[in-house]
Amino acid sequence: MPGCFMINAKGEIKVTKEAKDLIPDFAKLTEPEFHFIVLVEDMIYSPFHRMNRKDRISYAKVIVWGDDQIKIEKKDSHLLKCMEYYKSLVYDERRETVSACREKISSLSEVLRRPSLTDASEINNLMKSITALQVVIDNNEKELLRDEHRIILKGKQELSLLEKMKRSRELYKKAKL
């Protein structure tokens, strides 16, 4: 969602005031930590948004810290907690569907690459499944692009950035129950 971060003239990723108002913990993040969160969790502006989560994390570690072997564990619970908060601000069920479909495509692709897989009908079924999942991804991404800024209230008023983030956060909470 536009508005959780901005990029300043120096190219640094900064948390916006609106996001800090909703999630005060964001103010405690370092610039590299927030950069990492955006690269991993942002499904619109991250250059890795088409990758599965595992790959997004790995690439983001390399870009931010220069090493994909860095472990993000419970000792970094503040970072993990802020990643969840960020997801809550940008939550959209369609994005979750896209993410789930990408994970399934990744799993199916691994099966497809197995040398032991030789049955033509099984290969055909896997290819059809991957194609069907890709159609779901494409349709959801088109809707997301079209609707990104189109939340309009009765009376032709648009939701403010803060209201959009609050709305996303509430939808995220409901989805996690």
> Can you say whether the dihedral through the CA atoms of 22, 161, 98, 54 is positive or negative?
negative
pLDDT at 20 over 70: yes
Are both 109 and 84 inside the same structural domain? no
Residue 7 has a CB neighbour count (10 Å cut-off) of 12
Number of domains in the chain: 2
Please give the residue that has the higher pLDDT: either 3 or 135.
Answer: 135
Are both 54 and 102 inside the same structural domain? no
Residue pLDDT, tens place only, 68-110: 787 776 666 888 889 888 888 888 888 889 888 988 999 999 9
Are both 101 and 171 inside the same structural domain? yes
End-of-domain residue from the set 42, 72, 89: 89
Residue pLDDT, tens place only, 41-62: 876 667 777 787 888 888 889 9
Are both 42 and 67 inside the same structural domain? yes
End-of-domain residue from the set 61, 89, 117: 89
Give the model's pLDDT for residue 127.
96
Distance CA 75, CA 20 (A): 23
Taking residues 6-29, report their average pLDDT. 83
End-of-domain residue from the set 89, 122, 153: 89
Domain range for residue 72?
5-89
Are both 81 and 97 inside the same structural domain? no
Are both 85 and 99 inside the same structural domain? no
Are both 27 and 75 inside the same structural domain? yes
Are both 85 and 105 inside the same structural domain? no
Are both 81 and 98 inside the same structural domain? no
Please give the residue that has the higher pLDDT: either 141 or 114.
Answer: 114
Give the model's pLDDT for residue 1.
41
Strand, helix or coil for residue 152 = strand
Are both 172 and 111 inside the same structural domain? yes
Are both 84 and 127 inside the same structural domain? no
